[in-house]
A and B are shown apart, each in its own frame.
Chain A
Amino acid sequence: MSLSRRDVEGIAHLARLEITEGELPVYVDSLSKILSFVEQLNAVDTQAVEPMAHPLEGETQRLRPDAVTETDQHAKFQGNAPLVAQALYVVPKVIE
């Protein structure tokens, strides 16, 4: 798979990553190489093979009791926040 500049710009947008003009050709090249590399999987016959999402085959999800275990710690948790006002995380205006 050979990606175009447009492809990579599209992927970067979907992933919300700013890529500079200088970086773009580097990613076009390396992402194309990586995709070509992984395409060797296409040669494998996987008909009737179940996909494996998880190494713990046969394990199932544990269910927790419905109980409140947490207390209000927003001041501590917001210690890492870049911008907070009135206990809210502040972002540029969300337009709906």
Chain B
Amino acid sequence: MSQAVREGWEVVIGLEIHAQLATTSKIFSGSATAYGAAPNSQANLVDLGYPGTLPVLNREAVRMAVKFGLATGATIAPRSIFARKNYFYPDLPKGYQISQYERPVVEDGSLEILLEDGTKKTIGITRAHLEEDAGKSLHEGLANASGIDLNRAGTPLLEIVSEPDLRSAKEAIAYLKKVHTLVRYLEICDGNMQEGSFRCDANVSVRRIGRTEFGTRCEIKNVNSFRFVEKAINFEVERQIDVLEGGGSIVQETRLYDSAKDETRSMRSKEQANDYRYFPDPDLLPVTITPAFVDEVRATLPELPDEKAGRFALHYGLSAYDAGVLTASRELADYYEAVVRALGGGGAAAKLAANWVMGDFSAFLNRDGLEIATARVPAAGLAGLLRRIQDETISGKIAKEVFERMWAEACEADAVIEARGLKQITDSGAIEAAIAAVMAANPKQLAEYRAGKDKLFGFFVGQTMKATEGKANPAQLNELLKKLLGGP
């Protein structure tokens, strides 16, 4: 799927990310925000837009928006305004969405992404504003009709709008992942893309290289995984270039990504409703954010992903790439640091821990679809295993086997080593005896080796390992083999 852009063309992408804020109640009402509740059981009078009801703003939603602003070096508006975005849609109970228009709470932030060639690029964040989510239209089980569930209506969203600074689908994904990591670090969004807590619309256009003005853009909606965002953008780029190279022109429109067909298509239903008649919501007063409030939020900021990655690289001697992988989530970084700490630190321990956390540990997590919190081997357990590699009780190869047992049985490394007799053989007498037996059993190979067929060395390593059930200390085995094969 190498998607080099066709020669002569440049891609321009801006992302609008909708992050559902992890509040317990809705942005303007006291209804719960829990996912997966029975239809309409979490929609109260305010959420339903009942006549006479009024919105009251959730403090936590404002706090979370400010937290995001601070983490992206943005300006926090001392006074921001809620506006009404007017349009008719069955999942929008009031006939307008309460959003922010002219004065959003967060403006002019940025994030740095790491490109494939190792260089960094700054992506501008135009604004991030608070708004309410809509409900859901369900189409199954009703003949020629749709059913409306308004549980999601009124869930707080932070809409994070980037500058059109992204130049490829890969950059878009790097940025999207960066924001995804950040909101979870800040604990303002659970980042669950399947449940729709973290969604993305992409504004995509293309232009001939050298042109300064932007091409006409299309907005792609409904992309709910990193992979699909990438595929949707790549499809759309190809489509637009095809149209333009064929002498056509791009129509500004909203397009829907269909993952089953891997294509985007025009959403005609959205075409008519584009005069949103924004105006300040008279039911809500201007939101004032004082310096004291900002300071209070600043005090709750955790170490941010970039700071953490920098510290990991410096302190643990890791490559920028490894540091990036290990800090992709706060939980993974915490796990890694707990392992290193348990090993007593040190450069070698840090490297060993990094290889294991990024390697087998992450692979097993993915395989079983588990979170760090529910991992079968806790940090102390992994450290216990790595300690046995360090003290040469077991080899790295045996360690993989031990780890698999630990994961399967949720037990300690030492218990597995003990029960299965996996302790490494470091007694040179025992290893020499094993080698002697192998040499005796393979006189033909021994003669060939001694006649100069060096590559048979590996054969003898394998045979001896087999004879010791893999437990011979590999370095010792090598040394002794060289000595004994060389002849008396």
Chain A interface residues (CB < 8 Å from chain B): 13-14, 16, 53-54, 56, 59-70, 72-74, 77-78, 85-96
Contacts and interface: CB of A to CB of B under 8 A. Distances in A.
Interface string B148-181: 1110000000000000000000000000000000
A64 B287 CA distance: 12
A63 B59 contact: yes
B146 A70 contact: no
Contacts of A67: 24-25, 30
Contacts of A92: 144-146
B337 to A, nearest CB: 31
Interface stretch (B1-9, B37-45, B386-394): B37-45
A73 B137 CA distance: 20
Contact of B30 (A16, A70, A85): A70
B263 interface: no
Chain B interface size, as a band, is: 35 or more
B282 interface: yes
A57 B91 CA distance: 34
Contact of A77 (B45, B137, B288): B45
Contacts of A54: 280, 282, 285
A93 B24 contact: no
A56 B137 CA distance: 38
B39 A66 contact: no
A62 B58 CA distance: 9
B275 interface: yes
Nearest to B51: A80
B466 interface: no
Nearest to B87: A14
Contacts of B284: 61
Nearest to A92: B145
B256 A96 contact: yes
Interface string B89-115: 111000000000000000000000000
B48 interface: yes
Contacts of B23: 66
B27 to A, nearest CB: 10
A78 B40 CA distance: 9
B56 interface: yes
A54 B283 CA distance: 9
A86 B141 contact: yes
Nearest to A78: B40
27 contacts: A13-B272, A53-B81, A53-B280, A54-B282, A61-B82, A61-B285, A61-B287, A61-B288, A62-B285, A64-B30, A64-B59, A65-B60, A68-B24, A68-B25, A70-B42, A77-B45, A85-B147, A86-B39, A86-B141, A88-B138, A89-B40, A89-B147, A89-B150, A91-B90, A91-B148, A95-B269, A96-B256
Nearest to B50: A77
Given A85-B142, A91-B148, A96 B267 contact: yes
B438 interface: no
B31 interface: yes
B88 interface: yes
Contact of B148 (A56, A77, A89, A96): A89
A77 to B, nearest CB: 6
- Among A66, A93, A94, the most chain B Cβ lie within 10 Å of the Cβ of A66
A70 B57 contact: no
A59 B285 contact: yes
Contacts of B50: 77
B286 A66 contact: no
